[in-house]
Structure 1
Amino acid sequence: MSASSFPGGTSLSHLDIYGDAAPDGVCGGSPHMHLVSTEAYVVVSGTGALHTIDGEGFHETPLSAGSVVWFTPGTIHRAVNHDELKVVVLMSNAGLPEAGDAVMTFPADIVTDAAAYAQAASLGEPEGRAERASRRRDLAVAGFEVLRDAVLAGDPSPLEAFRAAAGALVRDRAAAWSDLIRERPLAQAERSLALAQAVAGGDVAHLGEARVQQAAASTGERSFGMCGRLRTYDVTDQENQK
């Protein structure tokens, strides 16, 4: 992975939350959770909500322009679109979510079967991808409803089973995640520490290396993400792109 000075070793994307309705009548994305990364929404326009399940139960957080909300690893989240909800997404550990740090809340028989999960999660060829994204979302909502209803009834066992299944599902690919973290967020934190120590010692030579960077947005149609139509940004430092 190329070096990036973008703050915090994060990734950045612009997300239009899906506007079509799931079988429960709620418009929005595919419920899922991240196992290592923290995700943040900065709402730029529209209204909606974030439905979450965590260690304290089920929550609904209203979203409108200017809202900033973030959720830590293990938080099952469902983005809900009430009226043209658009958000900027900041994701910790740039590159790690794309490496498999997300598990959708498919029903238990799918989450516990790696082959079945891979088939359910795949969007396949570009043609017909919108329909497959909706089917994938609907399947994740079905599993989400089971987890939500159980925690509301005071039964944490389905949630605990989902967490265990999610961990087993990604365990093999998680071996490579440490390298991704070292290359971006850890390397950046170590660089900041070195600069702080340099300044404390009277050395400000690094200030001569100051540069402005600009992210390049992905071109063409927005891709189909878990929560909506997605435009990503390349936050690699320009001198590392040559």
Structure 2
Amino acid sequence: MVSGRPPLPHPLPGAVGLSHLSAYDWESADGVCGGSPHLHLVCTEAYVVTAGRGAVQTLSPGGYREIPLRPGSLVWFTPGTVHRMVQGGDLRVTVLMQNGGLPEAGDSVFTFPPEVLAEPEAYAAAAALPPGTGPATEAAARRRRDLAVEGYLPLREALVAGNDGPYREFQRTAARLVREKVPAWRERWRAGALAAAERTGEQLDALADADPAHLADATAYEAAPTLRGGYGMCGRRDEYAVPGATSPYREE
């Protein structure tokens, strides 16, 4: 029998995060149009390309890669991988994010220059955006992107030259920056992805006893984006107000 604890909200499968992105077409210092390089510390992220073309640049212990993106492409990268979405022409991507809600709660660190990363208050100020989707938010998102690219290019250059020291130091600095947020992340994980997995285990136990009681709650849900054209890390972002789906970015 499934336990009598309060029912979960109805998240997307596995309590994943979901959003749609149109990659930024702003040109950066190296002549490339695209998003803000960053990494996640506990979340794997996936891109499903639905339109256009472009690439994702990644930095990892294996070195630097540029992976082409075209309709039908599926690309994913694990925690610690620095990634930068590159616009090649009308690029449109559906993003699936492990542990929905954690990136918005701070599991995402931009590749700002070391002097910004060294000061938590300076980092928070550089990472924050004004609310809304107006010109002030666009200007701040572009400044944030440019600052992330400024710190990213030396990391990439060193890694291409065979020196992973700056990249490793960035990972360590990112871990220090988010350390105080981990208790809140743990609660989100317990209430989201972990709870969804545990509920499956309870349902399997019930079925092993030939008890299908949980199937009495079967139904369907639907949702539409509740914000279109917001400013995400990589591009203009459509968001859903669905439990477990991607919520607006904010610093906590």
Structure 1 alignment gaps of length 5 or more: 238-242
TM-score, length-scaled by structure 1: 0.93
Q: 31, 40, 44: which is aligned to 2:46?
A: 40
* Counterpart position of 2:171: 163
User: Counterpart of 1:222 in 2: which secondary structure?
Assistant: strand
- Which letter does structure 2 place at the counterpart of 1:230? R
1:150 Cα offset (Å) = 0.7
User: Counterpart of 2:240 in 1: which secondary structure?
Assistant: strand
Q: Is 1:186 aligned to residue 210 of structure 2?
A: no
1:155 Cα offset (Å) = 0.8
Q: 18, 25, 30: which is aligned to 1:19?
A: 25
Of stretches 45-54 and 166-175 in structure 1, the one that deviates more from structure 2 is: 166-175
Of stretches 228-237 and 113-122 in structure 1, the one that deviates more from structure 2 is: 228-237
Q: Is 1:206 aligned to residue 214 of structure 2?
A: yes
C-alpha RMSD over aligned residues: 1.4
Q: Is 1:100 aligned to residue 88 of structure 2?
A: no
1:192 Cα offset (Å) = 0.6
Distance 1:41 1:4 in 2: 23
1:208 Cα offset (Å) = 1.9
1:125 Cα offset (Å) = 5.4
Structure 2 alignment gaps of length 5 or more: 1-7, 245-252
- Which letter does structure 1 place at the counterpart of 2:117? V
1:217 Cα offset (Å) = 1.2
Q: 216, 235, 240: which is aligned to 2:242?
A: 235
Q: Is 1:80 aligned to residue 86 of structure 2?
A: yes
Contact 1:54-1:75 within 8 A present in 2 as well? yes
1:173 Cα offset (Å) = 1.4
Distance 1:129 1:231 in 2: 15
1:5 Cα offset (Å) = 3.3
Q: 5, 10, 13: which is aligned to 1:4?
A: 10
1:229 Cα offset (Å) = 0.6
Distance 1:130 1:29 in 2: 13
TM-score, length-scaled by structure 2: 0.89
Q: 158, 172, 183: which is aligned to 2:180?
A: 172
- Which letter does structure 2 place at the counterpart of 1:203? D
* Counterpart position of 2:64: 58
User: Counterpart of 1:43 in 2: which secondary structure?
Assistant: strand
1:234 Cα offset (Å) = 2.2
Find runs of 4+ consecutive structure 1 residues off by over 6 angstroms. Answer: none
Distance 1:43 1:103 in 2: 23
Distance 2:10 2:102 in 1: 14
Count of residue pairs brought into register by the alignment: 235
1:178 Cα offset (Å) = 0.7
- Which letter does structure 1 place at the counterpart of 2:19? S
* Counterpart position of 1:240: none
User: Counterpart of 2:140 in 1: which secondary structure?
Assistant: helix
- Which letter does structure 2 place at the counterpart of 1:149? E
User: Counterpart of 1:191 in 2: which secondary structure?
Assistant: helix
The percentage of counterpart residues that share the same residue type is 48
Contact 1:216-1:235 within 8 A present in 2 as well? no
Q: Is 1:141 aligned to residue 165 of structure 2?
A: no
